Structure 1
Amino acid sequence: MSDARRYVQIESPFAMYRGGQLAQATIAYEAWGEPVGRGDNAILLFTGLSPSAHAASSADDPSPGWWEYMIGPGKPIDTDRFFVICINSLGSCFGSTGPASIDPATGRPYRIEFPLLSVEDIVNAARSACMALGIDHFHTVAGCSLGGMDVLAYAAMYPGTYRNLISISAAVHATPFAIGIRSLQREMIRSDPEWAGGWYADDAGPKEGMRLARKLGVMSYRSGEEWSQRFGRNRLAETERAGAVPLGPEFEIEGYLEYNARRFVGGFDANCYLYLSHAMDLFDIADHGGGSLEAGMRPIDARRALVAGVTTDWLFPVAQQHEIAALLDGAGVEVSMHELESIQGHDSFLIDHERFAPMVEHFLGADAP
């Protein structure tokens, strides 16, 4: 398969937000469209926890991206008008430096010797990469989920370098419920003997722990209403049941979770997952304001912001989106707040193009580059 990923070597050493440094750091990205000036038409896109930078198809990689319906010629994020650059998070395992990368000091993967990761590190690395590419100002900084946290951190840390913000299903800090879910996922991974204290071999790792963590993740990403509509109490076919396993899977929802979990295992490094998940729990915009959310958001100087969430999202509830909107409004930003009735829960922004596409298209169309 062709690969549209490109790479930037960022400043060395790269200082980490909560201490430590990386002797070398690489950031992977993909881009669509043509830049104007030093970023007059540029959109910086941050991802959620698990996606790569492959947000949309291109001539170099025609496979569908994770936001395929949103990005491209004539689409809501129109690459005939905008230059879109999607960053693979520092700490991830899709080309950017992370726990699975080789530590130049030892010649082996960092594993759990990778420095503690923060949302701020993801943002600083993205900023450094874009500067190296000659892009120092953005028409819009956008992101969903973890990517929305990145947007808020970027906006607070780099005022004067953007015009607009798009924050979808994000948070100024995680709720206890979200922290609890992610904590359980991390415990499932660490409890797998194959995690080996974090020092598993490249061809090994905590596959069972990752399988269970992904199941819990999928449950938290979607909604009970969707499960009821899609599966009800439908049973698995006799041939699909775990016949030799006492009290094993019998319902279609169980089969669906198993399918998604097995597809995920092996495609994402376990330690990268742990580091990124933990970074989401650590993030708090109030840290940028001496413990005050209002002070943490005060440096944000966007002209306009789109803030959106869905009523069925348990992980980043819609109340948190109203909180973001209110704090941005208090900072003097013109805010467009959208509470959507999507049934797919937190994953709605990946699926519900009928609601999300017009909203983004209208927002960007009101401020053409």
Structure 2
Amino acid sequence: MADARLYYDLPSPFAMKRGGALHGAQLAYETWGTLNPTRDNGVFILTGLSPSAHATSNEVDASDGWWEGIIGPGKAIDTDKYFVICANTLGSCRGSSGPASINPATGKLYRLEFPELALEDVANASHALVTSLGIEQLACLVGCSMGGMSSLAYMLLHPGSVAAHISISTAPQAQPFAIAIRSLQREAIRSDPAWNDGSYDDAHYPLNGMRIARKLGVVMYRSAMEWSGRFGRIRLESDQRHDEAFSSEFQIESYLEGHAQRFARSFDPNSYLYLSRASDWFDIAEYGGGKVSDGMLKIGIERALVIGVETDILFPLSQQQEIADGLRAAGANVDFVPLDCPQGHDAFLVEIDVFGAAIAQFLASL
């Protein structure tokens, strides 16, 4: 499979919010569509914690992307009209610089020597990439989940750089429930003896820690309504069970295990820790004297679409309302779309027709 990723070299040194700087760092990204002569049709997508830059298929890499049904010719984010960019998040492990990258100062992996990561760093790196493409103002900035938090930082730190914004299932600050779950995920990884203070390798890998962390994530990303509808209390067939004590007995357990096994070695554990903690640290109230509403007042854009899901327990609908109210108070014309989807936080990856319709209608109004 061909690699469609492009690479942008960040300014060096690249200063980090919480101290330290990166040298020779890069962002991996992909693009779709054509930048018009006035360079005002750019749409930039900031992702959740684990996705790559491959948001949809293209001529180089025909494999389905993580938002295949949303982006493309004639789709909700129409690549016949817009020049769409998606970058792998700074600190991740899917091409951009992060803990799994080589530290040029030592020639070895950064591991825990990678500077402390904030979502403001993600925002600044993304803005540097966008401006390197000759785009002074994005037609639209799209942020999903953690990417929505990074988007708020992007707009706050770079006034005038965004005309419209689509905010999907995110938060202006991490709330105690989300912090608690992410803390358990990090503890699962760090408690695995193979994690070895971040110094693991393929032969000695914190597989169990990553499995448990991912299971917690999957439970949090969906809803009790969906689990009941999909699995109920259906038990595994006898030939699907293992003989050891307390092994999986229900289908939901088997599903979580399969999901965890597929993910566990596909994402770097240290990158997971860094991005998880960055999500906990983010708080737009820092820019508003301790109040989210005052921090939101510093974001100046023309239009916004805020989408939330009623069954989302990670970023509840009340936080989507808070974002919509804040952007509206700051002067934006805001469409707030609360959706009744059973899939919880992950609905934007599953309910493509529903989310696509809302996004298409909003973009058509710009």
Q: TM-score range by the shorter chain?
A: over 0.9
Residue of structure 2 in register with 1:155 after alignment = 155
**SS of residue paired to 1:306:** strand
Q: Distance in 2 between matches of 1:320 and 1:78?
A: 28
Instruction: State the distance in 1 between where 2:118 and 2:39 align.
Output: 26
Q: TM (normalized to structure 1)?
A: 0.97
1:96-135 to 2 correspondences below 5 Å:
96-135=96-135
- Aligned residues, how many? 366
TM-score (ref. length: structure 2): 0.98
Counterpart of 1:175 in structure 2 is: 175
Q: Which stretches of structure 1, 4 residues or longer, exceed 6 Å deviation after superposition? A: none
Relative distance call for 1:197 and 1:38 in structure 2 (3 A) is farther
Query: Residue 233 of structure 2 aligns to which amino acid in structure 1?
Result: R
* Superposed displacement of residue 247, structure 1: 1.7
Tell me by how many angstroms 1:157 deviates.
1.0
Deviation at residue 78 of structure 1 after TM alignment: 0.3
Instruction: For residue 139 of structure 2, give the secondary structure of its aligned residue in structure 1.
Output: strand
**Alpha-carbon shift at residue 203 of structure 1 (Å):** 4.7
Specify every segment of 5 or more residues in structure 2 that has no aligned partner in the other structure, as ranges: none
How far apart are residue 21 of structure 1 and its match? Answer: 0.6
User: Identical aligned pairs, as a percentage?
Assistant: 55
Counterpart Cα distance in 1 of 2:255 and 2:183:
23
Higher mean C-alpha displacement, 280-289 vs 131-140:
131-140
Q: Which amino acid aligns with 2:365?
A: A
Q: Is the 8 A contact 1:156 1:298 kept in 2?
A: no
Shift of 1:202: 4.9
Greater Cα offset, 203-212 or 117-126: 203-212
Q: Deviations over 1:179-229 (max 9, x none)?
A: 000000000000000000111125532111000100010000001111111
How far, CA to CA, are the matches of 2:205 and 2:21 in structure 1?
26
Question: Is residue 94 of structure 1 aligned with residue 117 of structure 2?
Answer: no
- Alignment of 1:85 with 2:85, yes or no, is yes
Q: Distance in 1 between matches of 2:10 and 2:52?
A: 19
Per-residue deviation at 1:175? 1.1
1:263 aligns with 2:262: yes
Alpha-carbon distance, 1:135 to partner: 2.1
Distance 2:51 2:63 in 1: 14
Shift of 1:289: 2.3
In structure 2, the residue matched to 1:225 is 225
State how far apart, in whole Å, the 2-side matches of 1:135 and 1:203 are.
44
8 Å Cα contact 1:211/1:261 also seen in 2: yes
For 1:353, the equivalent position in structure 2 comes to 352
* Distance (Å, rounded) in 2 between the aligned partners of 1:126 and 1:204: 34
Q: Distance in 2 between matches of 1:171 and 1:240?
A: 40
Kept in 2: contact 1:46–1:151 (CA 8 A): yes
Structure 1 distance, partners of 2:28, 2:136, is 17
Q: Does 1:305 align with 2:304?
A: yes
State the match for 1:286 in structure 2. 285
Is the 1:38–1:134 Cα contact (8 Å) retained in structure 2? no
Cα offsets for 1:23-52 (capped at 9, x unmatched): 221000010000124631000100000000
Give the secondary structure class of the aligned counterpart of 1:337: strand
- Residues 73-128 of structure 1, C-alpha deviations (whole Å, 9 max, x = no match): 00000000000000110000000000000001111100011100000000101111
Contact 1:38/1:136 (CA < 8 Å) preserved in 2? no
**Alpha-carbon separation, structure 2, partners of 1:203 and 1:296:** 46
Amino acid at match of 1:97: S
Moved more, 252-261 or 295-304: 295-304
Pairing of 1:204-243 with structure 2 (within 5 A): 204-243=204-243
1:217-250 alpha-carbon deviations (Å, 9 max, x no partner): 000000111111110111112121122x102110
Q: Secondary structure at the match of 1:170?
A: coil
Q: Does 1:252 align with 2:267?
A: no
Q: Answer whether contact 1:10 1:132 (CA < 8 A) is retained.
A: no
Aligned equivalents of 2:161 and 2:221: distance in 1?
A: 32
What SS does the aligned partner of 1:166 have? strand
| Aligned-residue offset at 1:167 | 0.4
The CA distance in 1 between the partners of 2:7 and 2:152, in whole Å, is 24
1:290: how far off? Answer: 2.8
- 1:29 is paired with a residue of what secondary structure? strand
2:270 maps to a residue whose letter is: N
The answer (yes or no) to whether the contact 1:308–1:338 under 8 Å persists in 2 is yes
Give unpaired runs (5+ residues) of structure 1: none
